[in-house]
Chain A
Amino acid sequence: MKCIVCVKQVPDTSGVVAVKEDGTMDRAAMATITNHDDLAAVEAALRIKDATGCKVVVISMGPPPAEGMLRELLAMGADEAVLVSAREFGGSDTYATSQILAAAIKKVGVDSDDIVFCGRQAIDGDTAQVGPQIAEKLNLPQVSYVAEIKVEDKAVTVKRLLEDGYMTIKVQTPCLLTCVKELNEARYMSVGGIMECYQKPLEVYNYETLKDDPLIDVDTIGLKGSPTNVYKSFSPPVKGAGMMMEGADKATVEKLVSILNDKHII
């Protein structure tokens, strides 16, 4: 058995969001982190490894600097890492991205008792589409919004969050699960792990590596393989600051209430 985890390196949107002149985000100017939900997926896989001794493979598609993030995951306990990186893959929307990642996962190999993990969504795109689309391309059953996982032999029982409760779902391996941050608290890298992570295998899959897969076609990857196009991006107008009330006493509050009353807001 093995766990394959798809991970994305994302700009830290909780910090400063740097925007370029043309309105696109200046990724180079921002700190990068491992996407939160993906980190939960890595931790879930590592816990299965703790219990069963299975192998954990982490995969990321991105530019060469994403290797640093993969090394961190190896230092946490993952066994192997794959960086999917090529100029041909650039400009991909979720459809094309899942096409490429599915091909990479096929190259790693999905056996009958394997589980593929993804995060629910990445904080930079917020689409939550890549996981289910990979599942479709690999013809695997999927469960998204996973907040609890129990693995017994080849059956996986998971708790799937709904807005107003949850569902318990039973699914057979091989399957794909997308995890939410609430699933667990990710472990730290260990000092030993950091020492070892440079000895662990890290492969780079480029266009040459994957091009023979039927999923990889000029019409299904990159800009050309993306069904969606950004038509126009723009900045919303900044709402002008409102009225700052003077003071914070009874008179201030009464003045505010009388304004609200006069404007029929209350």
Chain B
Amino acid sequence: MSTFNNTDLAAFKDVWVFCEQRQGVMMPTSYELISEGRKLADELGVELCGLLLGDNVEGLAKELGGYGADKVILCESPLLKEYTTDGYTKVICDVIEEYKPEIMLIGATNIGRDLGPRCAARLHTGLCADCTHLDVDMDIYRDFLRSASTLPEEKIAGLNSAMVLGQKHDVSRDLKMTRPAFGGHLMASIICPRFRPAMATVRPGVMKKAPFDQAKADACQIVKPNFSLTEADMSTQVVEVVKAAKKLVDLIGADVVVSVGRGISKDVQGGIKLAEELAEVLGGVVGGSRATIDSGWLSADHQVGQTGKTVHPKIYVALGISGAIQHKAGMQDSECIIAVNKNETAPIFEIADYGICGDLFKVTPMLIDAIKAAKAAK
């Protein structure tokens, strides 16, 4: 499209969220991003728009309004039924060039992380990966730094501009995309000052879903743009889509996660059983460290950590987990961390709210009994 000039920043408006669906079911992260996108759209004083691609998915569109979308751009075609990089990228880039959103958010799922960079490369714009925090408004961003960084107040107060290619750039309308680097040891706020849209993939599970509002869902406007997509545009072919036979472990949505680590090695089955029992009395699910997944003790969907899932439950129980930074990166924001470990110097105790130095095979059964007794007494 000849009119698309990605450096004419003033021509870009509105916050867009790519709403991922699989087999006609919305991915939970789409609702999280719509809720977060609402906040950003309000900070900018613009509209929030969901972008939904698929085949026969109109029924999902109004739902997005219930979480805050003002409108939904709906692109339907039998060729969009399953996700393909080429098909989705073509349609998304074409509608972005036509409507020119200022911000584009994508969930950092396996699909979102495939789609985001392809679109950013085609549009010649910046993409920040796996963000865990987003801001536009400077005052809100400063408050975030006060609570989430060790920066001194004078440095925070003085943040108004950035040096971009040797020139002072006013950041007050830029999306500030914050993400952990190096396993959470360092945080970086990234901006995309010269090109639009500013794109971000966002970690599933870190943004909070807003309550559903039926009135807003009814008011949500659906826009069906013209787009062209033919089989000639697609050079990958989806032969089949297989769901894992096992029930998906909902680690991200769980209020309680009981995780096991290498500490269960002397009795793997017994250790997992204890974790399951403790998870049951607390009303949660079982997770595991990388070591338990690599050893084949638990399937990969149980993995908590940098390369697994990021969780922030109300209660996280770490049984026999040493607490390597790769693991901590996925659970350190849990509200209450309880660690049981034989080694009193284990790094997990540095972030645990409550620590017990002891054998998990002895402590866990006592813990289960005590919790049962406490619950019975209520």
Question: B-contacting residues of A (Cβ < 8 Å)?
Answer: 13-14, 17, 19, 23-25, 93-95, 98, 124-133, 135-137, 141-145, 157, 160-172, 175, 182, 223-224, 226-239, 241-245, 247-250, 252-254, 256-261, 265-266
Residues 346-376 of B at the A interface (beta carbon under 8 Å): 349-359, 362-363, 366-367, 370-371, 373-375
In the assembly, what is the distance between CA of A162 and CA of B110, in Å?
6
In the assembly, what is the distance between CA of A262 and CA of B371, in Å?
13
Residue B85 CB within 8 A of the other chain = yes
A167 touching B238, Cβ below 8 Å: yes
Which chain A residues lie closer than 8 Å to B371 at the CB level? 257, 266
Residues 26-74 of B at the A interface (beta carbon under 8 Å): none
In the assembly, what is the distance between CA of A143 and CA of B150, in Å?
40
In the assembly, what is the distance between CA of A133 and CA of B125, in Å?
11
Which of B184-192, B224-232, B257-265 lies at the interface with chain A?
Answer: B184-192
Which chain B residues lie closer than 8 Å to A17 at the CB level? 182-183, 185, 325
Q: Which of B111, B149, B244, B344 contacts A237 (CB 8 A)?
A: B149
Residue B140 CB within 8 A of the other chain = no
B120 touching A95, Cβ below 8 Å: yes
Question: A-contacting residues of B (Cβ < 8 Å)?
Answer: 22, 82-83, 85-86, 89, 109-111, 113-114, 116-118, 120-122, 124-130, 145, 148-151, 159, 162, 164-165, 171, 174, 176, 181-195, 235-244, 248, 282, 300-301, 306, 314-315, 324-326, 332, 335-338, 344, 349-359, 362-363, 366-367, 370-371, 373-375
Q: Which of A126, A132, A171, A223 contacts B118 (CB 8 A)?
A: A132
B164 touching A170, Cβ below 8 Å: no
Q: Which of B127, B186, B363 contacts A248 (CB 8 A)?
A: B363
- B175–chain A nearest beta-carbon distance, Å: 10
B117 touching A133, Cβ below 8 Å: yes
22 A-B residue pairs with CB within 8 Å: A19-B185, A19-B186, A136-B118, A142-B118, A143-B85, A144-B114, A167-B83, A167-B238, A168-B241, A169-B236, A228-B127, A228-B192, A232-B159, A235-B149, A235-B150, A236-B148, A239-B332, A243-B354, A244-B357, A245-B357, A256-B338, A266-B375
In the assembly, what is the distance between CA of A123 and CA of B148, in Å?
23
Which chain A residues lie closer than 8 Å to B235 at the CB level? 141, 171-172, 175
B357 touching A126, Cβ below 8 Å: no
Q: Beyond A14-B324, A168-B242: 10 further Cβ-contacts under 8 Å?
A: A131-B117, A144-B110, A168-B239, A175-B235, A231-B191, A248-B359, A248-B362, A252-B358, A256-B370, A258-B374
B127 touching A129, Cβ below 8 Å: yes
Which chain B residues lie closer than 8 Å to A226 at the CB level? 126
Which chain B residues lie closer than 8 Å to A237 at the CB level? 148-150
- Contacts A228-B192, A257-B371; is A93 near B117 (CB within 8 Å)? no
| B148 to A, closest residue via Cβ | A236
Which chain B residues lie closer than 8 Å to A142 at the CB level? 85, 114, 118, 236
In the assembly, what is the distance between CA of A237 and CA of B149, in Å?
5
A132 touching B188, Cβ below 8 Å: no
B244 touching A164, Cβ below 8 Å: yes
In the assembly, what is the distance between CA of A98 and CA of B192, in Å?
17
In the assembly, what is the distance between CA of A137 and CA of B171, in Å?
30
- A229–chain B nearest beta-carbon distance, Å: 5
| A25 to B, closest residue via Cβ | B182
B165 touching A227, Cβ below 8 Å: no
Which chain B residues lie closer than 8 Å to A223 at the CB level? 165
Q: Which of B185, B315, B349 contacts A265 (CB 8 A)?
A: B315
In the assembly, what is the distance between CA of A234 and CA of B122, in Å?
31
In the assembly, what is the distance between CA of A11 and CA of B192, in Å?
26
B128 touching A133, Cβ below 8 Å: no
- Contacts A19-B186, A234-B187; is A244 near B192 (CB within 8 Å)? no
Which chain B residues lie closer than 8 Å to A161 at the CB level? 110
B241 touching A165, Cβ below 8 Å: yes
Q: Which of A24, A129, A244, A254 contacts B349 (CB 8 A)?
A: A244
In the assembly, what is the distance between CA of A151 and CA of B128, in Å?
34
| B163 to A, closest residue via Cβ | A229
| B362 to A, closest residue via Cβ | A248
| B193 to A, closest residue via Cβ | A229
| A134 to B, closest residue via Cβ | B121
In the assembly, what is the distance between CA of A242 and CA of B184, in Å?
19
A233 touching B188, Cβ below 8 Å: yes
Which chain A residues lie closer than 8 Å to B171 at the CB level? 231
B126 touching A239, Cβ below 8 Å: no
- A264–chain B nearest beta-carbon distance, Å: 10
Which chain B residues lie closer than 8 Å to A229 at the CB level? 162, 164, 190-193
B121 touching A234, Cβ below 8 Å: no
A227 touching B124, Cβ below 8 Å: yes
| B256 to A, closest residue via Cβ | A266
Q: Which of A143, A160, A243 contacts B355 (CB 8 A)?
A: A243
B125 touching A227, Cβ below 8 Å: yes
Q: Which of B83, B244, B353 contacts A242 (CB 8 A)?
A: B353
Which chain B residues lie closer than 8 Å to A169 at the CB level? 236-239
Q: Which of B126, B236, B359, B375 contacts A228 (CB 8 A)?
A: B126
In the assembly, what is the distance between CA of A242 and CA of B351, in Å?
7
Which chain B residues lie closer than 8 Å to A133 at the CB level? 117-118, 120-121
| A259 to B, closest residue via Cβ | B354
- B49–chain A nearest beta-carbon distance, Å: 22
